Structure 1
């Protein structure tokens, strides 16, 4: 049965144009072609990335955080209580009023004490500012180096200037060593992100990030073993063009450099819109949808590849909407929040006690004048932009 499924999966008609077989992609006459088995190396490489990341975060990102004066907010810890801890872990982190009343009877705490305990317990689970800075530093370093490497790989290739060259001679296109390593490094990195996604900072677009990582891994893998390498290198370099800007903006945000963060974010927003909302759909997608039909009738692999591209493009539109909203707030002088991905799911829980105090103070302060200086950036705290 396994052999049957294997044969069906690798059926030539699924992945290659008509009248072509996998035998046409065997190495011959000094030409080397991409093979699916080449990608097995990305699994151990992904674990190498995890090890390198750990060392980078410990010996590079942490000292850098100290130099940039990244400070942790002191959080009050919840007093150990087996009854409340059991409910927190097994039932809900946000107990309802009836739950609070029942827990009050079981634990001997007042309802107000229980509400305070759950606030503090939720805050304990929030990722620390240092953890966020480390992650942003690691991603910034990789995306910047990957973008430089990607441009080095494709800048001297004819298909970088003429997209018709992407399909010239397809699929009988030999592979360059630089393309091999570019693919292996990119795929290994995204595998490492997927392996760490459960322990990394969970943001409000967590589901979209999972879909993005999975779609990217499938797209990179598929483009490799069906020899869509020329298109694949263009797509990967295009994605890396803006990511390092976002991660650097996050780093400055965590360090409290608000003006620098906001300025970099505006540059990031412009690059993101140009590369993923203009170039990707109107040049690259046009290249992968229209140009192949000039040579071959559509086949399953053609539809599959472009379906993955459309999924990625939908995610880009979703993120572009959030990014534009945030950029508009900055340009109009409003408080800036990271609408895209850097605001935690638990944002609304941290500082609940402080909010209550602030409300009371504000009510009393209406007789004594305003409590803030009116500057949107200076009044913006980390909780708003993280």
Structure 2
């Protein structure tokens, strides 16, 4: 195979010629497509719509729509609900306030030791020192409550957005034969793209673009880099599988990933809005999430997606650069799954053997993160 194209008979170093050569090399069919497929085969024809690269531009209107939906949903629904929930909890005693993130700093400020240490800052008056402490507690409480409100707003949006995408995916994939027989994903490519798969891809791609762009502005967890890597790999898989025409296996990957995400976000939202017997309810959701996560991402994903895809590219006709890259991305995704499974097992271990309460293991560094944010706010 010829993987690179040269413009013969040209000796000038015209930049436009170089760009044209680069474009032809990048879009060489031998890089992206199986040996018996050309770009002409990938063009849509009447009654046979194909996944064309320029279609990916439609993902950006979807991304903007998700962003606008998040802004409106935050303003009209989640912001009032979050403030009402946080304020209702803040009216109870200090011991219960610590449950919504008041933290060790609040308890320390209210101790007798700090009262005596801070007397000089109150001009020698014990009452003035206590007033200073009350002001500090109020400032600390305000920052902590704002952080809690942000978390509730973000979790509420993710719960709704993940649910919308997942339900659309279930409706789209319910009648697809390759969902039950993954061998069909690699049989006689390239495959035409049904209209519902087209919408599913654009919806998912737009959603993940929005998630990636908003990630630096959301409340950060200790696995920020893992989340960013996951979003980038997922977007790369969607764009690569669409361009290479491997949309069947790509659609399965999307559906498998959404299963556990919906349960996770809904469980976190229930943890914020405490109803009757909240611990028992959240624990049941956690069990459902754990079972779904292990079944879909630790068992099904490698056995029915990664391994068949890896075997498929070993066939000579399938061994092209894009397919190898897609398989590398698939296994990278699985490594991220194993990392998060490790964090999940740590939570289970703490609950079973150390009698710890259920919490997001990725937020163990949250106290220090919040301290930094409190310091920034107080220095302004």
Specify the TM-score bucket, using the shorter chain as the normaliser. 0.7 to 0.9
Is 1:154 the equivalent of 2:159?
Answer: no
CA distance in structure 1 between the partners assigned to 2:86 and 2:49 by the alignment = 51
Q: Contact 2:155 / 2:269 at 8 angstroms: preserved in 1?
A: yes
Q: Contact 2:208 / 2:231 at 8 angstroms: preserved in 1?
A: yes
SS at match of 1:198: helix
Instruction: Name the Cα RMSD after superposition.
Output: 3.2
Distance 1:62 1:126, change over 3 A: closer
CA distance in structure 1 between the partners assigned to 2:89 and 2:214 by the alignment = 23
The superposition leaves residues 213-247 of structure 1 with CA deviations (integer Å, 9 ceiling, x where unpaired) of 11111111111111111111110000000001111
CA distance in structure 2 between the partners assigned to 1:349 and 1:226 by the alignment = 42
Aligned runs of 1:152-301 on 2, under 5 Å?
152-171=171-190, 173-256=191-274, 257-294=278-315, 296-301=317-322
1:315 to partner: Cα distance = 0.5
CA distance in structure 2 between the partners assigned to 1:349 and 1:156 by the alignment = 46
Q: How many residues align?
A: 314
The superposition leaves residues 295-350 of structure 1 with CA deviations (integer Å, 9 ceiling, x where unpaired) of 72411111100011111111000000101111233344611353543x16441466
Aligned runs of 1:52-63 on 2, under 5 Å?
52-63=69-80
Could you say which residue in structure 1 is the equivalent of 2:367? 347
Q: Which has the higher helix share?
A: 2
CA distance in structure 2 between the partners assigned to 1:35 and 1:205 by the alignment = 35
The superposition leaves residues 77-98 of structure 1 with CA deviations (integer Å, 9 ceiling, x where unpaired) of xxxxxxxxxxxxxxxxxxxxxx
* TM-score, scaled to structure 1: 0.73
SS at match of 2:216: coil
The runs of 5 or more residues in structure 2 that have no matched partner are 1-17, 92-131, 373-380
SS at match of 1:246: helix
* TM-score, scaled to structure 2: 0.74
1:2 to partner: Cα distance = 3.0
The superposition leaves residues 27-52 of structure 1 with CA deviations (integer Å, 9 ceiling, x where unpaired) of 23521101110011212321221111
Q: Contact 1:266 / 1:327 at 8 angstroms: preserved in 2?
A: no
Q: Contact 1:276 / 1:313 at 8 angstroms: preserved in 2?
A: yes
The runs of 5 or more residues in structure 1 that have no matched partner are 75-112, 353-386
Distance 1:10 1:263, change over 3 A: same
SS at match of 2:367: coil
CA distance in structure 2 between the partners assigned to 1:64 and 1:264 by the alignment = 21
Could you say which residue in structure 2 is the equivalent of 1:131? 150
Q: Contact 1:202 / 1:345 at 8 angstroms: preserved in 2?
A: no
